[in-house]
């Protein structure tokens, strides 16, 4: 799909007369947008982009975009190509959600055309099914045990090397001072909380000081939907939070007077003191990179890693569901899947 894309131009008044238009999908698309599509301009732009992608594929594969060319096989070939196109770094160019969006737009478009002028081989999108996205967890990106240890070790080192200049000559060979706005204990505690609970990134920002039950080792946080999810945490994780409370939080609390557990540095000129998801990303990325872990491992990889860990230790779907707060057990069941790397290792051991 490298050739110049077919352009679908908008039109305000085109009459749908079967004998008056060239039987080309480009013409049908123009009429479709002029007479049928009533969504927002942003949504229409998205639909045009998706249909353009398909028309470009047809022209490249079959040399034309005529309506009879669009067959059920052509639909399958296009979606297969979409799912298996990769970027230079080896990652998928289009996510499963994007493929489903394109599929939905093509289904509506094909059904409309078929009502006015049936396709020779039948409605080309009738038997195409959507990909299962809701129940598919990308455990291939779950944090491994080795990566977990490396990231936690890097978080521990923040207390010694974090927030310091790497320029050895800038301070005459002496140990450079730590930036006043840098919060090593807070950042360390955030990393430990993500990894040792499997909590979502947004939940970290919602945590309040009163949500911590030190005796039961539980962090209770309001999740999406308004329900309260109790997250058990390891002793190490809770100790990291204690260290943060003992060494740093009080100074920032004097300015913010906030209920939030993790506070922005008092030097920050904006906000109410509560960190946002972007701030959590920044903390994670800095520690992950310092640990030398692949960039495709995100805060959510820690959640997946927790799911895999509990499944391996207990083999109990209910235990995963309880720790991660899944409403549907099928989400937790996904952690019993074997990864491609594990499968290859098993085959090599034969």
52 and 20 in a common domain: yes
Alpha carbon distance 255, 244 (integer Å): 17
Alpha carbon distance 60, 55 (integer Å): 9
DSSP letter at 334 equals G
Q: What pLDDT, on a 0 to 100 scale, did the predictor assign at position 329?
A: 76
Total-model pTM: 0.60
Please return the burial class of 304, using the count of CB atoms within 10 Å of its CB with bins 0-12, 13-18 and 19+: buried
245 and 184 in a common domain: yes
148 and 125 in a common domain: no
171 and 309 in a common domain: yes
160 and 59 in a common domain: no
Alpha carbon distance 20, 17 (integer Å): 5
- The domain spanning residue 292 has which CATH number? 1.10.443.10
Q: What is the CA angle 283-289-294, rounded to 5?
A: 120
Q: What pLDDT, on a 0 to 100 scale, did the predictor assign at position 156?
A: 96
146 and 64 in a common domain: no
- Confidence grade of residue 200 (pLDDT, cut at 50, 70, 90): very high
Residue 148: which domain range? 139-348
49 and 18 in a common domain: yes
Q: What pLDDT, on a 0 to 100 scale, did the predictor assign at position 290?
A: 95
162, 168, 171, 175 alpha-carbon torsion, rounded to 10°: 50
292 and 161 in a common domain: yes
Q: Are 186 and 262 in contact (CB under 8 A)?
A: yes
Last residue of a domain, one of 133, 151, 173: 133
Alpha carbon distance 263, 331 (integer Å): 32
Sheet with 228-232: strands ordered across = 212-213, 218-222, 228-232
Last residue of a domain, one of 107, 133, 159: 133
Q: Picking from 24-38, 167-181, 245-259, which range would have the lowest pLDDT averaged per residue?
A: 167-181
pLDDT tens per residue across span 316-329? 888 999 999 887 77
228 and 269 in a common domain: yes
How many domains in the chain?
A: 2
């Amino acid at each position: 799909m490298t050739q110049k894309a077919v352009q679908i131009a908008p039109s305000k008044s085109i009459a749908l007369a079967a004998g008056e238009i060239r039987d080309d999908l480009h013409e049908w698309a123009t009429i479709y947008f002029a007479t049928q599509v009533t969504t927002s301009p942003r949504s229409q732009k998205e639909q045009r982009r998706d249909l353009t992608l398909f028309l470009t594929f047809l022209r490249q594969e079959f040399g034309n975009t005529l309506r009879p060319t669009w067959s059920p096989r052509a639909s399958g070939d296009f979606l297969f190509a979409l799912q298996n196109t990769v970027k230079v770094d080896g990652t998928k160019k289009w996510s499963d959600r994007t493929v489903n969006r394109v599929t939905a737009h093509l289904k509506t478009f094909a059904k409309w055309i078929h009502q006015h002028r049936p396709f020779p081989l039948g409605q080309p999108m009738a038997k195409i099914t959507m990909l299962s996205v809701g129940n598919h967890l990308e455990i291939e990106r779950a944090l491994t045990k080795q990566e977990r240890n490396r990231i936690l070790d890097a978080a521990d080192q923040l207390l010694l090397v974090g927030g310091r200049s790497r320029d050895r000559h800038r301070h005459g060979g002496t140990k450079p001072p730590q930036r006043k706005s840098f919060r090593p204990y807070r950042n360390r505690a955030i990393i430990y909380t993500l990894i040792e609970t499997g909590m979502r990134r947004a939940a970290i920002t919602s945590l309040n000081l009163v949500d911590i039950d030190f005796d039961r080792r539980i962090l209770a946080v309001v999740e999406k939907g308004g329900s309260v999810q109790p997250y058990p945490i390891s002793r190490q994780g809770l100790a990291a939070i204690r260290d943060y409370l003992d060494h740093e939080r009080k100074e920032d609390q004097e300015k913010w007077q906030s209920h939030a557990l993790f506070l922005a540095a008092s030097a920050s000129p904006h906000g109410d003191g509560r960190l946002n998801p972007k701030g959590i990303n920044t903390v994670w990325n800095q520690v992950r990179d310092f640990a030398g872990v692949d960039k495709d491992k995100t805060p959510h990889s820690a959640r997946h890693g927790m799911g895999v860990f509990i499944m391996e230790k207990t083999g109990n779907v209910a235990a995963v569901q309880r720790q991660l707060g899944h409403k549907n057990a099928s989400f937790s069941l996904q952690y019993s899947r074997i990864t491609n790397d594990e499968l290859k290792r098993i085959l090599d051991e034969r």
